[in-house]
Amino acid sequence: MSRLGALLARETALAWGRGGGPMVSVGFYAGVATLLPLAIGPEPARLAAIAPGAAWVALALASLLSLDRLFERDYEDGALDHLALSPVPLELTCAAKCFGQWLATGAPLALAAPIAAIGLGAPLALAPLIFACALIGGLAFAFTGGIGAALTLGARRGGLLTAMIVLPLFVPPVIFGGGALASFLAGLPWTSGFALLAAYAAAFVALGPLFMAAACRNALS
């Protein structure tokens, strides 16, 4: 196995086992979907109207739960120093961490998103688009969240700081993904919103590791 493949396997295993893996995020997601009808009422028409947007916002918030330990554990036990000195560039290490986070948390949440939306009353025809948006949006959340996690390395109350940094970066994916779903439901062209979501995710996949590596080097210096 190549060094990069071994690193990705390590990061995925750590992300899966960190604090219960995806179960905490999926449990939070299920809790939001369960409590929402109790808060706004059980009227099917009202629930169906807000189901896609509510599922998308819940996805963004659930993605925050495991970000604070993305780099912190390796920073505390000294593993990050070894990773920074390894033959694999630190930028690729940061990318592997975010991909591992996405595989362990983002992908299970993407699978849960259509189920939650349909449970709230969204039409079944919307399920494939919800899954695709959640899968791509989860990738954007993982890489934007990685930037916030790297910037708060060594800070007290790093989880709160991470949330404050990344929440503004979560806004465009929520707008693009929610707009694509709303347009699909209204029978309007939805591909532009989906394309913007994919472009946003691709931009952070390409540029995010550069910012993360710079922040990690600054924390280690």
Q: Return the pLDDT at 199.
A: 96
Res. 197 pLDDT band, cuts 50 70 90: very high
Domain ranges of the chain: 3-220
Q: What is the pTM of this model?
A: 0.87
Q: Return the pLDDT at 18.
A: 58
Res. 191 pLDDT band, cuts 50 70 90: very high
Q: Return the pLDDT at 127.
A: 87
Give just the sign of the alpha carbon dihedral 70, 75, 76, 77: positive
Q: Return the pLDDT at 21.
A: 60
Report how far residue 177's alpha carbon sits from residue 36's, in angstroms, rounded to the nearest whole number. Answer: 20
Higher pLDDT, 135 or 53: 135
Report how far residue 51's alpha carbon sits from residue 64's, in angstroms, rounded to the nearest whole number. Answer: 20
Percent of the chain with pLDDT over 70: 92
Looking up tokens 């790297």, which residue turns up? 150
In degrees to the nearest 10, what's the CA dihedral of 211, 215, 220, 221? 100
pLDDT in tens, 47-102: 777 777 777 777 788 778 777 777 887 787 788 888 888 888 889 889 988 888 88
Structure tokens at 32: 């939001």
Structure tokens at 69: 């330990």
Q: Return the pLDDT at 26.
A: 75
pLDDT in tens, 7-29: 777 777 776 765 556 677 777 77
